[in-house]
Structure formats: structure tokens, C-alpha cells
Amino acid sequence: MRAREPDSKGYVDVGGVRLAWESYNDTAASTVLFVPIDTCVHSRAWKGQVAYLAQHHRVVTVDPPGNGESDRSLDPAAYADLALVEDTLAVLDHLGVARAVLVGICGSAWQALLAAALHPDRVQGVVAVAPRVRDRTPPFPVRLEALQHFDEERDDYSGWNGNNRHYLPEHWPDYAAFFFDQMLPEPHSTKQLEDIVGFTRQTTGAVILAETAGPRFPDTADEAEALLRGITSPVLVVQGTADRCQPPQRIRSAAEWTGAEHLVLEGSGHLPMARHPVVVNRAIKALVDRAVGAPTPPRPRRTSRRRPRVLYLSSPIGLGHVRRDLAVADAMRELRPDLEVQWLTQSPVAEFLEERGESVHPASRLLASESGHFEAEAGEHDLHAFDAVRRMDEVLVNNFMVFDDLVERESFDLWVGDEAWDLDHFLHEHPSLKRAPFVWMTDFVGWVPMPDGGEREAFLTADYNAEMVEHVSRYPALRDRSVFVGDPEDVVDLPFGPDLPTARAWTEEHFDFAGYVMGERPDPAQRDELRERLGYGPDEVVCLVSVGGSGVGHHLLRRVAAAHGPASARIPGLRMVVVTGPRIDREALALPDGVEVHGFLPDLDLHHAACDVAVVQGGLSTTMELTAARRPFVYVPLEHHFEQQVHVRHRLDRHRAGRALAYAETDPDRIAEELVAALARPVDYLPVPSDGAARAARLTLEAL
């Protein structure tokens, strides 16, 4: 799922070649146009920038001739420098945009600079990332050697030698994979490499050869220097010190000749917009704001007289996190009655909080939907959680930028992130952006490969774990508190990967333990009164079926409801109550007669405490609510969901709670059997202490 969908899209015909464009925030007063990017990839290479910049300006992206949704021309003239400049102007004309800030990388950065030099009335500013400038700097020696033999047949086409007329037509994917591996030298760049190599698969070696033959402009370095020195609009040049494509002096020439602001990123390769999107986004926005004359927001001012303010980020994946976060926030306010809590979150959590009278910050509306992303990733009771998180990268970038903009405008005294993965990751990547004490909260530690993922998934999860370990080792004080929601024994005792510590040992070293955190717990002695209040009769056997706050669980709801008949035959007085939650259409479920259906129940935790038996997914919050209430239950973990399959299962096994059932086994008779067995099994759960919220609140406030 994209972080933001375009408002409009279409094609422009330039000299018989159709160019695909997309436009975001069409009504904005100013425009940022990503010029047709280098043909080897397409405009989705800017996916980490588009959604964020479109919060402030109109953003237009253009696929280059030869890739993406544009035509695959084999005419070298279509790839000439001046032809690509004309492509940019044609898109501006087609959209009725008089002037724009242009953004490009490598060859497209050069074409953006040419547009500014040749058409100053159309260009308000330029962002040139690793520009391929026509100065006198030779290519890197390894690339120069390959270029000198470009037209010759060779015995060895490995490495840079693959950039060869005789090799590329049939082996472009192989060379592209090698080339972009060189362009991303930063550790832990597996996702960025997968993305960019995927983009290269949408063109061919024949197109690349045509692009290589495209005429370059101007003819000499002296002419190029004169053109760039004539640019009057503001320019930003971005350079990585580990760039293996453009030699450093070439990029310095661009900065010197244009009088540009020069951003040098230590250790960055050729694709900083992919590998370091936050710093690139901040730099692009600053240049655009300056170029279009956007007002600079005042810096937040702190005053000693105001109430202390907490910005609380609650994960929107389901509703379990928000129940515990509310419990922690309430406990914090008991200890500090003057505390002001602002929430930065999204649906369905935002609606839940507003219903409870909490203050959800207006910036929340700018967040890209994480719940929607997970729902789009899910199959039939199957959600590969690790893959889903990896593919949520552009959503996480956008959401961190929303946070970053907010804390730059407004002052907060404490940040709390409950599994706010974007906040924790990008703060460790850019610790200078930390402006307040930060408390990190989670109920699991460590990515776990699924057995059928093979060596590749084992490698990827270990790489993600290694990055986390390195982050904390490099910046041990960045998290002012790390709070684990549970006890040390609740952490799986598995290694993070080869030559890495085990999850439990590492967590014990770097976290404080709050015990399990949940909201107000009904008194078991008053359960009969609670049942009466909720409308459950004393002779009814209430089976509650729920799947949390996301839209992933509708397949399980149908499966369990189909067991109503067989279960009723075995359980006298059975009353099956299905709760769809806020993101599943209960009317569309078409459940059988006799099954009671409810939508969103804000007091679902009370129904869990009142029921006789439950069937649920494998989410931690729901299963631990049932465990604390000492209710029998059957749980069906999502397939390939490492947290439910490993972390939650481990915790429930430790508490001797619940009966696990694989989704493949959920035929009506088996579900009926499991319900009978769960009701017959004596409850001998490990007690769940009730002071977790108070402990978490004390730990959190110590950082204030």
C-alpha cells in the first residue's frame, strides 16, 4: 500500500512517446516536480518523499521514457538531455503549472539543472541529488575501464564489465542487481535494494542501450560550467561520501558552479533518498519553502509556567495497545495531576480515544494508515507480519515526518512511543532530531523467521535484529526508558541471529519490566452482576468470538460462526456472540441464524471477563485480558504472523492459558470439540498482577 494515492494521473505525449505522470495535492499553491528519473528505474524511487512533501505542496512525479508506465522507446533521441528537459516542460504545460521546484538524481538531476539554466522563468529551485555534471572529472577507474571497452566482446562480464553492449540486451537484470548493490553500500539496506532492483525489472537491456546512446548536452565542460553559473534560482546539492556512481569532485563542481547549498551525508551511497529519507526530506522541504517563499513557522517556546505536555504515540494495529496506553496515561495523571497528554495516532485508535474524551492531536489526520496497510497485506487468516512491516517502509517514513514536523512546531516535555516503530528507528538513525525525553514501550523484542521462509527470511530477520542491536549499542542513551510490557520470562529465549545475543538476555540488559499492563479489571466476585449488566442470562453459556480492532479477522469470524450448529448440539444453552470490531462490515459477513452479531464494542474487555468461553485470534491484548479474567478460550494465531505464532504463544504457554488451534483445522466440528474441551478444562492460569499500569507510569515519568 502506498503512503498516499495520487489525486490525478495521466499521460503526456511528447514526440510520439507517452510519459506517465501522477499528481498529489492538486490544489496546493506551489509545485514540486520530480523530473523524469534515470531510465533504469521509475518514479516510485521517490516513494519516501512524495507523501510527506504532498502535505505541504503539490507534488508531480513522471516516469521516464523506457520505464514505469511510460512508453518503451528504442530511439536514442528520446533520451537526449535536451529531450528530457522538454519532457519536464511538457508535463508542466499539460498540468497548467507555470513554475515549479525540480528534483532529480544523477542524470535527472543534471537535466533539472539544465532546465533551470535554459528556462529560468519555469524553475523556482532545484534539488540535485548526486548530479551527473559534465565537468572534467573522469569516472571512477573501475567504471572508466568498463566504459572504454563498452563496444568490445569480452571473456568476462562479471562486475562492472557487465556494462557492455554485448551483455546488456540479454543480461540486464543481472547487471542491474550488481550495479545497485554497489549504489547501496550502507549496512542494513536489504529493503531498499529489493525495491530499486524491482524497479529495474520494468525496463530492458535494449532500452538501456538506447538511453546510453542518447545525445548529451552541452558538448564541453566549459559550456556546462557557464550554464550552471547562470542559474539564478536556489539550488540544493546532496552528496553521499560513499557514492560509487558519481565521483565527489563532479558533485562539488555542481555545488560550486550554482552557488548551491551543499548537503554532504557521511557514509551515504548513491541513493540517499531511499536509504536516508528523513534527512533528505527535511532538506528538500527547506529548499522548496525557501524557493517559493513559504513562511517559516516560529520555533516553539518553552515556559516554566505551563503544564508538562506528553506526546503519546499509540500503535493503531488493533485496539489492544490503546487500552494499555490509556491505563498507563491514567496512572501517569494520577501521579502527576497537572500532566497534559496529547495523542498522535490514527483509526481505529483515534476514534476510541476521542470517545473516551482524550485529546487526539489534529496532526494525526496526516498519518498514513498502518491498519489499512496490514489489511491489504493479509490473506485468508494469513498475515506475514515481518514482510508486512518491511513493505510498510514508505508509510513509516511519512508518519515519522508528521511527528517530526509536529515536534518542530510544538514543544513537548516527554515522548512516549508504544511500538511506534517509525519513531524509534528514525530517531536512532538521526539522533540529532531528539528534542525531548523519549520512552519506548513494547510487548515483544526480536523479529523471528517463519520455518517456510528458508535461508532468505532467516537472513533478513537477523539483519533487522542486528540493526536494532547496533542502534542501541551506538546510542544507548537515546531511549530514556525502554519499558517491556511483561516480565523477563515472557521474552522468548531465542537468538536474534548468528553471532547475536538471545532476545531474553539482551532485553533484560536494556529494558525495565512493567509486568503486564491492562485497563480496569472487573472484580471476579462481581462477575454475576457484570453478566446481568451486559444482558447475559445466568443459564446461558456465552461464547464470545472476536478478532481485535483490525479488518484482518473476517475469515475466522465466518469459520467460527459456521460451528454454531454443531456447538449448540453439544453445549446446552449456548449463546454465540460475534464482535466484528470497527473495521469489519457486520452486514457483509452473512452469518447463520442464531448467531448474535455486534459491531464495535468499546467495553469489549468487560465482555471478555463476563463470557464463559471465547474464540479469538492470537493477539496479545485480547488473550491476556482473557487470561487475567481466568476465562477459558481458544485462540487461532494468524498464519506467518511471527508475533502471534512465537511471542504470544510463548507467553500464553508460560501462563498455562488458552488452547491453540491452527486455522487449517477450524472446521465446524473441530471448533465445537475445542469449545467443549475448553469449558471442561479446569482454569489453572498463572496469575496476572494488576499493578502493571502503575509500574509503567512510574518508569515513564522518571524520564520527565
The pLDDT tens digits of the residues spanning 176-217 come to 999 999 999 999 999 999 999 999 999 999 999 999 999 999
Under DSSP, the state recorded for 251 is H
| 142-167 average pLDDT score | 96
CATH architecture of 309-518: 3-Layer(aba) Sandwich (3.40)
Q: For position 616, what pLDDT does the model report? A: 96
Cell triple for 356:
473516551
**Residue 553 contacts residue 547 (beta carbons within 8 Å):** yes
pLDDT for res 523: 85
CATH architecture of 524-680: 3-Layer(aba) Sandwich (3.40)
**Mean pLDDT across 583-596:** 87
As a whole number of angstroms, the distance between CA 410 and CA 431 comes to 19
What is d(CA 432, CA 305) in angstroms, rounded to the nearest whole number?
Answer: 27
What does the domain layout of the chain look like in residue ranges? 8-138+215-292, 141-212, 309-518, 524-680
Of the candidate ranges 58-62, 410-414, 604-608, the one whose mean pLDDT is the lowest:
604-608
- How confident is the model over 156-171, as a mean pLDDT? 97
Q: Per-residue pLDDT tens for 366-409? A: 999 999 999 999 999 999 999 999 999 999 999 999 999 999 99
Identical fold at 8-138+215-292 and 524-680? yes
Closest by CA position to 359, among listed 339, 389, 383:
339
CB 382 within 8 A of CB 452: no
Largest CA distance in the chain: 93
Q: What is the mean pLDDT of residues 584-596?
A: 87
* Cα 670 to Cα 349: distance, rounded to the nearest angstrom: 34
CATH topology of domain 8-138+215-292: Rossmann fold (3.40.50)
Of the two residues 700 and 352, the one the predictor is more confident about is 700
Of 36-40, 270-274, 310-314, 521-525, give the lowest mean pLDDT range.
Answer: 521-525
Q: State pLDDT tens for residues 10-34.
A: 999 999 999 999 999 999 999 999 9
pLDDT value, residue 318: 74
| Residue 298 burial (10 A CB sphere; 0-12, 13-18, 19+) | exposed
Identity of the amino acid at 688: V
Query: Residue 549 pLDDT more than 80?
Result: no
Question: 91 pLDDT band (50/70/90 cuts)?
Answer: very high
| Under 8 Å between Cβ of 273 and 129 | yes
Cβ atoms of 483 and 511 closer than 8 Å? yes
Give me the phi and psi of 614, to 5 degrees please.
-140, 155
- Those residues whose C-beta lies under 8 Å from the C-beta of residue 281, and which sit 6 or more positions away, are 48, 49, 52, 53, 397, 401
Q: Are 26 and 70 in contact (CB under 8 A)?
A: no
- Average pLDDT value for residue range 520-544: 92
pTM: 0.96
Please check the confidence at residue 581 and state whether its pLDDT lies above 90: no
CA distance 215 to 81: 7
Q: Are 163 and 146 in contact (CB under 8 A)?
A: yes
pLDDT in tens, 439-460: 999 999 999 999 999 999 999 9
Mean pLDDT of the residues in the chain: 96
pLDDT cut 90: percent of the chain above it: 91
**Mean pLDDT value of segment 646-659:** 98
Does residue 302 surpass a pLDDT of 70?
A: no
Model confidence band, residue 524 (pLDDT cutoffs 50, 70, 90): confident
Angle between the N-to-C axes of helices 454-474 and 421-429, in degrees from 0 to 180, rounded to the nearest 10? 60
Cα angle 268, 79, 217; round to 5: 80
Closest CA to 467 of 409, 426, 522, 514: 426
Q: How confident is the model at residue 304 (pLDDT cuts 50, 70, 90)?
A: low
Nearest-angstrom CA–CA distance, 422 and 366: 15
